[in-house]
């Protein structure tokens, strides 16, 4: 992890252009299997959501897959699920209340590196007697990682990802910029023999996506030559926080999005014609895919 952080901070441009790429749900079709087979069952089991499991699954799928919160870090995502459940009339009618996690809420608001190493360090300094929610969050997060390692296998990159990386590497320095744990990212990129394209694979332990881009690219590239590729609004925010351009991979239409990037958008970006009308058009299209209001509120 220290080596990756050094690569981020000390990166020296070798190309004129910079391209950051998210991993889960963007480069790889792993969002559905990770959420539905790993995160959500572990969530229900370890946070006592069994009495409202049907609603918990719906809330978690909405937050993590089908809404503007898609792709956010696992800890704030879990808090959002709790909040949606507590605001859901059918859940309240059953007399259910989500777990109280005051310390976790405070930690999420103040900690920038929302990953297991930071959480482990926190728990080593605070007893479980005093802050049980933090220790339970750590157990849950480790259990999720174990489930991912056990279940998620042989999920390839989306069509046109490899071809896009091959085309982009000739003109751009490539960074993997993700909220996924470092170990899983490296394993997945190596498993499919594409780990050699990025100069660094940055996960949640190295900070937020915006921080990844800032460390690697801020002040090193012309902002008009910086592009973030992502499948979630958080990816767009990370790009805009650094003055970079954004290309969306539309959830449900990933293959079409990657083909357009390979055949058209990358060339538009390299020709300095991406900012303005073209970016506005693809972002407007992207916005329509991810609502803010859950279906049970519409």
pLDDT at 113: 86
The first and second tokens of residue 180, run together, are: 């996924």
Question: Is the four-CA dihedral 257, 288, 21, 148 of positive or negative sign?
Answer: negative
pLDDT of residue 272: 95
Q: Which two tokens stand for residue 49?
A: 């959501």
Instruction: Show pLDDT as tens, one digit a residue, over the chain (298 residues).
Output: 578 889 899 999 999 999 999 999 999 999 999 999 999 999 999 999 999 999 999 999 999 999 999 988 899 999 999 999 999 999 999 999 999 999 999 999 999 889 899 999 999 999 999 999 999 999 999 999 999 999 988 899 999 999 999 999 999 999 999 988 888 899 999 999 999 999 999 998 898 899 999 999 999 999 999 999 999 999 999 999 999 999 999 999 999 999 999 999 999 999 999 999 999 999 999 999 999 999 999 8
What pLDDT was estimated at residue 1? 59
- CA distance to 39, 115, 242, per residue, from 147 (Å): 8, 16, 34
Which domains can be identified in the chain, with CATH numbers? Answer: 2-29+158-287 (3.40.50.1000), 31-151 (no CATH)
According to the model, what pLDDT value does residue 53 have?
97
178 by DSSP, 3-state: which? coil
pLDDT value of position 2: 73
DSSP secondary structure, 79-126, as one string: HHHHHHHHT-HHHHHTT--PPP-HHHHHHHHH-SS-SHHHHHHHHHHS
Looking at residue 194, what is its pLDDT?
A: 97
Helix (H, G, I), strand (E, B) or coil at 157: strand
CA–CA separation, 207 and 270 (whole Å):
28
Beta partners for 228? 20, 246
Contact yes or no for 30/179 (Cβ under 8 A)? no
Distance from the Cα of residue 27 to its chain's centroid: 11
pLDDT, residue 3, reads 86
């Amino acid at each position: 992890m220290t080596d990756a952080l050094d690569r981020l901070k000390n990166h020296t441009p070798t190309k004129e252009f910079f391209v950051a790429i998210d991993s889960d749900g963007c480069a790889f079709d792993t969002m559905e299997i990770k959420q539905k087979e790993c995160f959500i069952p572990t969530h229900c089991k370890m946070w006592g959501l069994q009495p409202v499991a049907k609603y918990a699954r719906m809330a978690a799928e909405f937050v993590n897959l089908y809404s503007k919160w898609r792709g956010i870090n696992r800890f704030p995502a879990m808090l959002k699920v709790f909040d949606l459940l507590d605001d859901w009339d059918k859940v309240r009618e059953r007399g259910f209340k989500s777990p109280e996690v005051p310390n976790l809420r405070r930690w999420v608001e103040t900690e920038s590196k929302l990953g297991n190493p930071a959480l482990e360090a926190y728990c080593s300094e605070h007893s479980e007697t005093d802050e049980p929610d933090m220790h339970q969050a750590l157990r849950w997060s480790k259990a999720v990682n174990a489930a991912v390692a056990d279940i998620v296998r042989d999920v390839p990159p989306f069509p046109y990802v490899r071809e896009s990386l091959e085309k982009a590497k000739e003109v751009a320095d490539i960074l993997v910029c993700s909220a996924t744990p470092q170990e899983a990212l490296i394993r997945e990129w190596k498993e499919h023999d594409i780990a050699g394209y990025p100069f660094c694979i940055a996960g949640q332990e190295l900070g937020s996506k915006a921080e990844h881009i800032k460390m690697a690219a801020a002040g090193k590239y012309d902002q008009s030559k910086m592009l973030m590729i992502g499948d979630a609004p958080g990816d767009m925010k990370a790009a805009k926080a650094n003055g970079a351009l954004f290309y969306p991979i539309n959830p449900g239409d990933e293959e079409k999005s990657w083909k357009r990037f390979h055949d058209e958008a990358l060339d538009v970006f390299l020709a300095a014609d991406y900012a303005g009308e073209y970016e506005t058009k693809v972002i407007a299209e992207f916005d329509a895919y991810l609502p803010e209001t859950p279906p049970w509120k519409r």
